[in-house]
């Protein structure tokens, strides 16, 4: 008999849809290769929750996900218990092998994750916020050995597992450098190709590469959270406020609406054109990079020589360079596509599978 692995998914967006698809499509493979049968027993978001102790039927999952994609609400009141409340209910019905998966972009899931881990559940998150909360919360969560967070940095790329492995096998991090934002990588490449800053931002927004409010990307906060996670894993006692963040727009523009912000952007064009020209004049390449070392963590534009590893990857790729005691002159480097719902879901699924090893 295959091992029964009940999965509870919090947050039902693009990644949740992709993950559900993968779990259903790969059930035969997992049963054959891992003697494990993954069953989604609950779905919850801020609307409500659906819970089926025996596992939701594939057709039912399809219908729910299709409805959600079209903007429907979960059947409110089915349990009437969104997110955190769900755990108490699930608790009575599933065993210790259950795995809670956080695919939200909300820090309200922190109590649910903690409660799940305290009760012996596994927990997997693609959501950076719990790990980028205050240091005490980070430590309480990561102190649980059945907690995984691969997809928080680099989507499906093996970044977190690699760093965790380095640390647990006794290596010492000297420095981590990375280009971790597809959005800012795209911007950098557009600027280098000669596009004005304002046009590059509009293009990124039109292609769906940015959040609805592009300031969430341009402010560097997302990249900073990733640097914070890598720094904390490396043993640095950092708070988010310790990360030096270069925002790509002045703070005064935070008071604008999104449309006002986009209209005001051309005021920044000349400054960026000059920066690109200066870099080019000295043969350098602009990249929005993250850096973590003993002296702290920072994210921002860097002008790099063309043979620097960060400059050599395609701007749409993510890359992480681990320089450690064992990988010192020959750093350990991981690169590739580090974004997208399917790749992120694969990162989450890999974490789930690591919990049933």
Edge-to-edge strands of the sheet including 3-10? 48-51, 36-45, 3-10, 99-102, 122-125, 147-148
Decide if 68 is catalytic: no
| Angle at 124 (CA atoms; ends 119, 125), nearest 5 degrees | 120
Binding a copy of itself (rule: CB under 8 A), the pick from 106, 162, 198, 247 is 162
Please work out the total of residues on this chain that contact a copy of itself, with binding judged by CB under 8 A.
Answer: 47
Nearer to a copy of itself among residue 48 and residue 154 (C-beta): 154
Interhelix angle 84-91/110-118, nearest 10 degrees: 20
Q: Using the rule CB under 8 A, is 357 a contact of a copy of itself?
A: yes
> Minimum distance between the CB of residue 19 and a copy of itself, rounded to whole angstroms?
10
- Of 350, 353, 355, nearest in space to 151 by CA: 350
Retrieve residue 240's tokens: 């988010």
Q: Using the rule CB under 8 A, is 171 a contact of a copy of itself?
A: yes
> Minimum distance between the CB of residue 44 and a copy of itself, rounded to whole angstroms?
23
Asked whether 311 and 194 are in contact (CB, 8 A), the reply is: no
Nearer to a copy of itself among residue 67 and residue 161 (C-beta): 161
Binding a copy of itself (rule: CB under 8 A), the pick from 22, 125, 234, 302 is 22
- Of residues 267 through 326, those in contact with a copy of itself by CB under 8 A are 312, 314, 316-317, 322, 326
Nearer to a copy of itself among residue 22 and residue 285 (C-beta): 22
Determine the Cα–Cα distance for residues 218 and 301; give it in Å rounded to an integer. 11
Element (H, E) at 198: helix 197-206
Determine the Cα–Cα distance for residues 160 and 153; give it in Å rounded to an integer. 7
Question: Which one from 128, 205, 226, 280 is the annotated catalytic residue?
Answer: 226
- Cα dihedral 57/58/60/64 (nearest 10): 130
Retrieve residue 79's tokens: 């349990």
Pick the piece of the chain touching a copy of itself (CB under 8 A) from 25-33, 45-53, 97-105, 206-214.
Answer: 25-33
Residues 6+ apart with CB under 8 A from 255: none
Binding a copy of itself (rule: CB under 8 A), the pick from 1, 29, 92, 281 is 29
- Of residues 138 through 157, those in contact with a copy of itself by CB under 8 A are 143, 145-146, 156-157
Q: Which residues have a catalytic role annotated?
A: 226
Binding site for a copy of itself (CB under 8 A): 22, 25-26, 29-30, 33-35, 143, 145-146, 156-158, 161-162, 165-166, 168-171, 312, 314, 316-317, 322, 326-327, 329-337, 342-343, 346, 349-350, 353-355, 357
């Amino acid at each position: 008999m295959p091992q029964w692995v009940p999965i509870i998914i919090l947050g039902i967006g693009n990644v949740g849809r992709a993950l559900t698809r993968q779990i259903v499509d790969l059930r035969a493979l997992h049963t054959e290769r891992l003697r494990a049968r993954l069953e989604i027993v609950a779905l919850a978001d801020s609307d409500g929750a659906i819970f089926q102790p025996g596992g939701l039927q594939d057709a039912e999952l399809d219908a729910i996900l299709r409805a959600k994609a079209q903007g429907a609400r979960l059947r409110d009141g089915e349990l009437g218990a969104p997110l955190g409340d769900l755990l108490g209910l699930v608790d009575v019905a599933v065993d210790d092998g259950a795995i809670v998966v956080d695919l939200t972009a909300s820090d309200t899931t922190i109590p649910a994750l903690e409660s799940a881990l305290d009760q012996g559940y596994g927990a997997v998150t693609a959501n950076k916020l719990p790990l980028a909360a205050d240091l005490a919360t980070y430590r309480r969560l990561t102190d649980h050995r059945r907690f995984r967070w691969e997809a928080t940095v680099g989507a499906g790329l093996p970044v977190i597992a690699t760093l965790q492995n380095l640390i647990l096998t006794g290596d010492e991090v000297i420095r981590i450098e990375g280009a971790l934002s597809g959005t800012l990588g795209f911007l950098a490449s557009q600027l280098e190709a000669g596009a004005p800053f304002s046009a590059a931002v509009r293009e990124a927004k039109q292609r769906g590469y940015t959040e609805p409010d592009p300031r969430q990307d341009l402010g560097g906060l997302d990249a900073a959270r990733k640097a914070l996670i890598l720094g904390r894993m490396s043993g640095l006692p950092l708070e988010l406020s310790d990360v030096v963040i270069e925002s790509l727009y002045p703070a005064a523009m935070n008071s604008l609406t999104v449309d006002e912000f986009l209209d005001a952007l051309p005021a920044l064009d000349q400054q960026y054109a000059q920066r690109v020209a200066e870099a080019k004049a000295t043969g350098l390449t602009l990249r929005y990079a993250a850096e973590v070392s003993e002296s702290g963590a920072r994210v921002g534009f860097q002008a790099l020589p063309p043979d620097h590893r960060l400059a050599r990857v395609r701007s749409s790729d993510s890359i992480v360079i681990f320089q450690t005691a064992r990988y010192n002159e020959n750093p350990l480097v991981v690169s590739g596509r580090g974004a997208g719902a399917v790749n992120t879901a694969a990162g989450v699924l890999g974490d789930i599978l690591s919990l049933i090893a």
